[in-house]
Amino acid sequence: MSETENRTPLLRVHDLHVYYGAIHAIKGISLEVYKNEIVTLIGANGAGKSTTLNTIAGLLKPRQGTVELEGTVLNGLGASRIVPKGLSLCPEGRRIFQQMTVRENLEMGSYTRPNSEIAASLEEMFQRFPRLKERERQIAGTLSGGEQQMLAMARALMSRPSILMLDEPSMGLAPILVEQIFDIITELHQAGTTILLVEQNAQMALQVADRAYVMETGHITLQGPAEDLLHNEAVQKAYLGS
Amino acid sequence: MIFLDNLINGLSLGSIYAIIALGYTMVYGIAKMLNFAHGDVIMVGAYIAFCGLQYWGLPPVIAILAAMAVCTVLGVTIEGLAYRPLRQAASLAVLITAIGMSYLLQNIALMIWGANPKFFPPTFINSTTFKLGQLNISSATVITILANIVIMVGLTLFTAKTKMGKAMRCVSEDRGAAELMGINVNRTISVTFAIGSALAAIAGVLLCSSYPTLQPTTGSMPGIKAFTAAVFGGIGSIPGAMLGGVLLGVIEIFGKAYISTELGDAIVFAVLIVVLLVKPSGLLGKPVREKV
Ligand SMILES: Nc1ncnc2c1ncn2[C@@H]1O[C@H](COP(=O)(O)OP(=O)(O)OP(=O)(O)O)[C@@H](O)[C@H]1O
Ligand SMILES: [Mg+2]
């Protein structure tokens, strides 16, 4: 990763503190994501991974610290004004619009873009996710779990983000579908998408990622090339079950 | 004949309830709050139309448009000043604020227009009576029922087809996910209040065209009934508001005609209770699913 060191990061989080009322959930974390990287954030349940992503996306307000996207400070903008700047979050639990059709869900993903550009993006998503094309008019709530996850990812891509954040895309999916989701992540990466990935499945995440951060109770405790962490003893003990 | 007479009156009264219920149901669906001041916005709308007709000599259509404009501004202002600061607050706090807002509007109306009832002047809405065999149907009845249908179809198309309408459905389903799409939730809620309040003005004029006494409490009872209708039909559902409103009007008129004049309102609420016992989410409401 030596080549990334002197470039400015696409996403830069510095000394972030987030509270839920009196609960200090994120205790001063810093992280960077460079263009065309996959960076993964792993950690146990409740470590604060989702809180971190939600804060970067603007759903939560940090009490301290900064979030910068391509040099622009995003703090205090609120999620709806951050999306058009090129940052998209595919949230934990998918949160697709259950009562809308697949197509409507995708269209909502490009809410902030001019109508004239939507058709091309839709076509692109249908090519990448042929399953969604077959189910274009189906009510999203009736999709299977795997299809819902694909829809959630496609919807997040419909804003044409310069960085895509994925919060546990493999959650609750059968192993074969987990494979598929990770294949898609790899494909997106090869197509030039920058990705910040939060995963419980540390093994798979570390295999696809370039770099990784390990979170524990609101702190980042380890960071480095994904390959190194994959072979790190502490990580193996705590997250890889070996 | 009396049966048909009652049925038509019931449909007409029910149509007014339905138009008011739409305001409750849309605001509930999108902002997740009960806007108890909604009934009083109707009253304000009726007073503005009254002033337009009686004092300012406006043509009826212009008076109605003026009432709609004032109510729209009023609804959006109430939302922005009173409800928006409480967006993260407990729902009980919001409810109490809404009740307070209701009393505030009634008392402002009392200050401006006094306690004496005003007589809402006749307009094109209630100027003619159609004879159909032995039936006498007032034009107000016909216009009210037609207005209800037009509004219902219009709103259904609006939420199904337009970008703002779709944004409303998103906010209603999942506010956080809607924000992640780039939807401005506050603006969406404002537009919802604007639409609901403009409809309240129309409902106020229609109400006073059929029941022409106007006083500061005019909006309360229809407001509560319409709220009941919204719950009856399934709060949050647009067709539910229509169905609930119309059924409620018909039940009320039939109850008064065939069972007891005094107990008319009690019958309405008894039916509501029975429906909610059998189907807690209302006639067309979706069962509430706990989020995992
Ligand atoms: N809305 C909330 N109110 C209060 N505390 C919260 C809230 N959301 C999360 N927390 C707390 O903040 C901490 C971090 O939670 P977070 O959801 O970010 O963890 P996570 O790393 O994403 O966990 P998981 O892997 O289970 O998704 C936890 O202790 C959690 O209990
Ligand atoms: Mg999480």
- The three-class DSSP label of residue A29 is strand
pLDDT class of B287 with cuts at 50, 70, 90: low
What whole-number percentage of chain A has pLDDT above 90?
83
Going by C-beta distance under 8 Å and a sequence separation of 6 or more, which residues neighbour residue A185?
A: A38, A166, A169, A195, A197, A208
Cβ-defined contact of B163 to A111 (cutoff 8 Å): yes
Q: In the predicted model, what is the mean pLDDT of residues B22-26? A: 94
A91 lines ligand 1 (CB under 6 A): no
pLDDT of residue B136: 85
What whole-number percentage of chain B has pLDDT above 90?
76
| Nearest chain A residue (CA) to B186 | A80
Convert the pLDDT of each residue in A171-219 to its tens digit: 988 899 899 999 999 999 998 899 999 998 898 999 999 999 999 999 9
Task: Pull the structure tokens for residue A145.
Answer: 């779990």
Going by C-beta distance under 8 Å and a sequence separation of 6 or more, which residues neighbour residue B289?
A: none
The CA distance from B194 to A84, in Å, is: 26
DSSP state of A159: T
Q: In the predicted model, what is the mean pLDDT of residues A12-26? A: 95
Longest distance between any two alpha carbons in chain A, whole Å: 52
What whole-number percentage of chain B has pLDDT above 70?
98
The CA distance from A138 to A126, in Å, is: 14
Sorted by where each starts, the structural domains of chain B and their CATH numbers stand as 2-128+137-278 (1.10.3470)
Asked whether the ipTM of the predicted complex exceeds the cut of 0.85, the reply is: yes
Q: In the predicted model, what is the mean pLDDT of residues A96-113? A: 96
Task: Pull the structure tokens for residue A18.
Answer: 């987030």
For residue A44, pLDDT over 70 is answered with yes
In 10 A of CB A73, how many CB atoms? 12
Interface of B with A in 154-173 (CB under 8 A): 163, 166-167, 169-170, 173
pLDDT class of A1 with cuts at 50, 70, 90: very low
Cβ-defined contact of B167 to A111 (cutoff 8 Å): yes
For residue A56, pLDDT over 90 is answered with yes
User: Of A88, A97, A112, which has the smallest distance from its Cβ to B170's Cβ?
Assistant: A97
Give the H or E element holding residue A40. Answer: strand A38-43
Please, which residues bridge with residue A32 across strands? A12
Contact residues on chain A for B177, CB-CB shorter than 8 A: 91, 95-97
| Nearest chain A residue (CA) to B289 | A98
For residue B248, pLDDT over 80 is answered with yes
Please, which residues bridge with residue A16 across strands? A29
Interface of A with B in 181-220 (CB under 8 A): none
The CA distance from A82 to B266, in Å, is: 52
- The three-class DSSP label of residue B269 is helix
Q: How many CB pairs under 8 A join A and B?
A: 64
pLDDT class of B288 with cuts at 50, 70, 90: low
- Which of the residue ranges A1-15, A50-64, A193-207, B199-213 would you say has the lowest mean pLDDT? A1-15
For residue B290, pLDDT over 70 is answered with no
Backbone CA torsion sign across A104, A110, A112, A115: negative
pLDDT class of A242 with cuts at 50, 70, 90: low
Cβ-defined contact of B182 to A89 (cutoff 8 Å): no
For residue A2, pLDDT over 50 is answered with no
Q: Would you say B125 and B60 are in contact if contact means Cβ atoms under 8 Å apart?
A: yes
Q: Would you say A73 and A67 are in contact if contact means Cβ atoms under 8 Å apart?
A: yes
**Closest CA of chain A from B141, distance in Å:** 36
Q: In the predicted model, what is the mean pLDDT of residues B32-45? A: 95
Convert the pLDDT of each residue in B95-149 to its tens digit: 999 999 999 999 999 999 999 999 999 998 888 888 888 888 889 999 999 999 9
Q: In the predicted model, what is the mean pLDDT of residues A130-138? A: 94
> Which residue's CA is the closest to the ligand 1 atom numbered 26?
A45
Q: Would you say A16 and A52 are in contact if contact means Cβ atoms under 8 Å apart?
A: yes
Closest ligand to the CA of A45: 1
Q: Would you say A13 and A67 are in contact if contact means Cβ atoms under 8 Å apart?
A: yes
User: Of A83, A96, A100, which has the smallest distance from its Cβ to B182's Cβ?
Assistant: A83
Please, which residues bridge with residue A26 across strands? A18
Please, which residues bridge with residue B203 across strands? none
DSSP state of B79: I
> Parallel, antiparallel, or unpaired for β A211-216 and A38-43?
parallel
Going by C-beta distance under 8 Å and a sequence separation of 6 or more, which residues neighbour residue A3?
A: none
pLDDT class of A127 with cuts at 50, 70, 90: very high
In 10 A of CB B48, how many CB atoms? 23
For residue B7, pLDDT over 90 is answered with yes
pLDDT of residue A6: 59
Q: Would you say B202 and B151 are in contact if contact means Cβ atoms under 8 Å apart?
A: yes
The preferred substitution site among A16, A17, A18, A20 for testing ligand 1, maximizing ligand atoms within 8 Å of CB, is A20
pLDDT of residue B292: 36
A105 lines ligand 1 (CB under 6 A): no
A172 lines ligand 1 (CB under 6 A): no
The CA distance from A198 to A188, in Å, is: 16
Give the H or E element holding residue B54. Answer: helix B38-54
Q: Is B206 on the interface with A (CB under 8 A)?
A: no
Convert the pLDDT of each residue in B189-232 to its tens digit: 999 999 999 999 999 999 999 999 999 999 999 999 999 999 99
Please, which residues bridge with residue A164 across strands? A88, A195
DSSP per residue over B165-200, as a string?
A: HHHHHHHHH-HHHHHHTT--HHHHHHHHHHHHHHHH
What whole-number percentage of chain A has pLDDT above 70?
97
Quick one: B84 exposed, middle or buried, by C-beta within 10 A (0-12, 13-18, 19+)?
Answer: middle
Phi, psi of B287 (to 5 degrees): -60, 135
**CA within 13 Å, CB half, B142:** 14
Convert the pLDDT of each residue in A154-168 to its tens digit: 999 999 999 999 999
A56 lines ligand 1 (CB under 6 A): no
pLDDT class of B45 with cuts at 50, 70, 90: very high
Mutation pick from A108, A113, A159, A160 vs chain B, by most beta carbons of B within 10 Å, is A108
Task: Pull the structure tokens for residue B263.
Answer: 């107990």
A25 lines ligand 1 (CB under 6 A): yes
> Which residue's CA is the closest to the ligand 1 atom numbered 24?
A45
User: Of B166, B177, B182, which has the smallest distance from its Cβ to A95's Cβ?
Assistant: B177
Average pLDDT of the residues of chain B: 92
The CA distance from B135 to B82, in Å, is: 48
The CA distance from A232 to B75, in Å, is: 60
**Closest CA of chain A from B221, distance in Å:** 34
B204-230 b/e (C-beta count within 10 Å ≥ 16 → b): bbbbbbbebebbbbbbbebbbbbbbbb
pLDDT class of A5 with cuts at 50, 70, 90: low
Q: Is A107 on the interface with B (CB under 8 A)?
A: yes
Q: In the predicted model, what is the mean pLDDT of residues B28-41? A: 93
A201 lines ligand 1 (CB under 6 A): no
A43 lines ligand 1 (CB under 6 A): yes
